[in-house]
Structure 1
């Protein structure tokens, strides 16, 4: 069935059809969003952010519900603290310049792209600068990924790692080429994405420099008594002494032996590799974790219709505080951070 497996309904012309090809996966189209007026977009954002009060605004500063709406502008004023605010104040879209309809359209475009959506493509879709689309896409990624940080895995957990970035182009002449496997011939940008994926559960990735560095984190974030499936890499040997039931599979012999496999983790890496090859082309660097979180969310939401995905993305963004990383990103990149701001990777 659509919510539980690969196939669609068992009756009618859609029998045996993949969920993503079925009508159940399509609940929202870009044409529907593009036809919305600014008032319609405002109403949708109000209903998403203040769903507990059925769209009635609540002051983000003091939590007071005694609020009146300005007629000349789409802002509100709190009667208690006299603070003016909009539907995006205090959220990851704080201090926005784009119209709400454009932001809603960006979320819908983001949700409809099964393998991710590049910033260049988004800039053309919205007719905005590349910088604007780049920051907007990363704000959505941060809103989706923040809730994954610190979550623990339990039950049957598939663990694996995959390296990204750090490609060193070989020299033209054979006599000038070096062994790129040696540390001295690498550029230091190579990172590994580690994933903990529960069977029929959540996908939780994080990024470290080397696969062996992930063991202490895995021991903290996987609940004791869980069954961990890992491959034959020696990096996972210490997991046997951490109170976990560890099962190993040797991929040189088979991918599954009936007792252990890492197929759930491999499925996640297949998605992120496809995004790297076909969409983003370069996802390494300081924001590799953001792309990993995005692909983990897409993997978990692959059986949810696109209309619901838009609502989930909107709710995540409108309940997320302003982003230190992406608020004023391009302006901050041209100056040194003040001592109070500290350093952010």
Structure 2
């Protein structure tokens, strides 16, 4: 994959090219409710070309029996149970029309560095709470692609690095009252380390730890044997020499030296850092991993058109069962 696409005598970034823009919000809002339903059916049941498959018994013989309100519903002839295209998925028990959810996915995918819940609530005309839960469900769907992922392989190159996020403390006004937050005595304990494992082919896996040194077992589990691992000079990575061929780069001297570099890992952190500063302003605690996984998914799929991203995300959401973390989140009765 190349960073630029040729356009005549000039070089053009992929995001500026026609290939990157295959779906617009205008096209989504021109859809009828039936069009949106058809698209969701095709995305959820590609094996049957959009024909409904019962989530209860797996039967493929179902007929349309819409509710009096007009809401979509199918009834399985085999088990006589009712279901919809969103039954048993992250969209289960949805309150908004499917077209609105499709628009939400498109808005989310079109953002390069993330989308804040407040901005999404304004775009969709929903409450902040509804937008907050919807965005976290989208991040949960993204994370499905990373479950159990192992990157690298014999002779393949993988980069690792760590960056600290969350727990920002605004400096005091007067200089004499300011504290060096690099010192442990002046830290709040809220900052956590995001560790990224990223192969040169683009696939990546993030995780969150208290410090870089706590990530060694995670790294060994997520990098295939025989991989060539690139890392900076931090002492946290010294123990990995026993498991992998290592290439180390001293960033005080250079960003790349004799083939050793962590530029792809740094690119990931650049995206996550800009998402934190420019959109979310505060990513910490139990949610930090979700934001880290979102940045990883966006970085891995940055050369995919927005139409393909929307369809991929919709597919992930329809294949993912009801959220264990955000079902009943605001009612404080989260499903087990």
Band of TM-score, shorter chain: over 0.9
After superposition, what is the alpha-carbon deviation per residue over 1:282-328, rounded to whole angstroms, capped at 9, x for unaligned? 12221111111111111111111111111101111110011010111
What is the TM-score when the length of structure 2 is the normalising length?
0.94
Aligned residue in 1 for 2:161: 160
Deviation for aligned residue 1:177: 4.6
Q: Please give the alpha-carbon distance, in whole angstroms, between the structure 1 residues aligned to 2:310 and 2:236.
A: 39
How far is the alpha carbon of 1:176 from its aligned partner?
Answer: 4.8
Q: Which blocks of at least 5 consecutive residues in structure 1 are unaligned?
A: none
SS at match of 1:16: strand
- Partners of 2:161 and 2:195 within 8 A in 1: yes
Deviation at 1:35, TM superposition (A): 1.3
* Distance of 1:300 and 1:258 partners within structure 2: 25
Kept in 1, the 8 Å contact 2:44–2:85? The answer is yes
Say whether residues 1:59 and 2:54 are aligned partners: yes
Distance in 2 of aligned mates of 1:161 and 1:117 = 23
Match in the other structure for 1:145: 143
Cα distance, 1:33 vs structure 2: 0.5
- What does residue range 48-197 of structure 1 map to in structure 2 within 5 Å? 48-72=43-67, 73-154=71-152, 155-173=156-174, 176-197=177-198
Residue in structure 2 matched with residue 327 of structure 1 by the alignment: 327
Deviates more, 1:249-258 or 1:273-282: 273-282
Deviation at 1:32, TM superposition (A): 0.5
Q: Structure 1 runs of 4+ off > 6 angstroms? A: none
Count residues with an aligned counterpart: 330
Give the aligned partner of residue 247 of structure 1: 247
In 1, the alpha carbon distance for the partners of 2:159 and 2:196 equals 8
Give CA deviations for 1:53-72 in whole Å, capped at 9, x if unaligned.
Answer: 01100001110111111144
Deviation (angstroms), 1:170: 3.8
Matching residue of 1:5: 2
Q: Equivalent residue for 2:261? A: 261
State the alpha-carbon separation in 2 of the partners of residues 204 and 298 from structure 1. 12
Residue 202 of structure 1 corresponds to which residue in structure 2?
Answer: 203
1:312 is aligned to 2:320 = no
Aligned to 2:145, what secondary structure does the other structure show?
Answer: helix
Q: Any idea what the Cα deviations from partners look like across 1:89-122, whole Å, max 9, x if unmatched?
A: 0111111111101100000101111111111110
Distance 2:255 2:143 in 1: 29
How many angstroms apart in 2 are the aligned matches of 1:114 and 1:29? 15
Aligned equivalent of 1:276: 276
Where 2:121 maps in the other structure, the secondary structure is helix
Tell me the equivalent position of 1:40.
35
Offset, 1:150: 2.0
Shift of 1:186: 2.1
SS at match of 1:77: strand
TM-superposition CA deviations, 1:152-174 (whole Å, max 9, x none)? 11120010000001223344555
Residue 40 of structure 1: how far off its partner (Å) = 0.9
Distance 2:12 2:176 in 1: 54
Shift of 1:7: 2.0
Mapped to 2, the partners of 1:278 and 1:289 lie a distance apart of 18
Q: Any idea what SS the aligned residue of 1:310 has?
A: helix
| Deviation, structure 1 residue 250 | 0.5
Q: Cα–Cα, structure 1 residues 29 and 229, in superposed 2: closer, same or farther, change >3 Å?
A: same
Cα separation, 2, equivalents of 1:178 and 1:71: 64
Cα displacement (A) at 1:276 = 1.3
CA distance in 2, matches of 1:89, 1:217: 34
Distance across 1 between alignment mates of 2:182 and 2:200: 34
CA distance in 2, matches of 1:6, 1:120: 32
Output the TM-score relative to the length of structure 1. 0.91
Q: Separation in 2 of the partners of 1:21 and 1:180?
A: 40
For structure 2, the 5+ residue unaligned runs are none
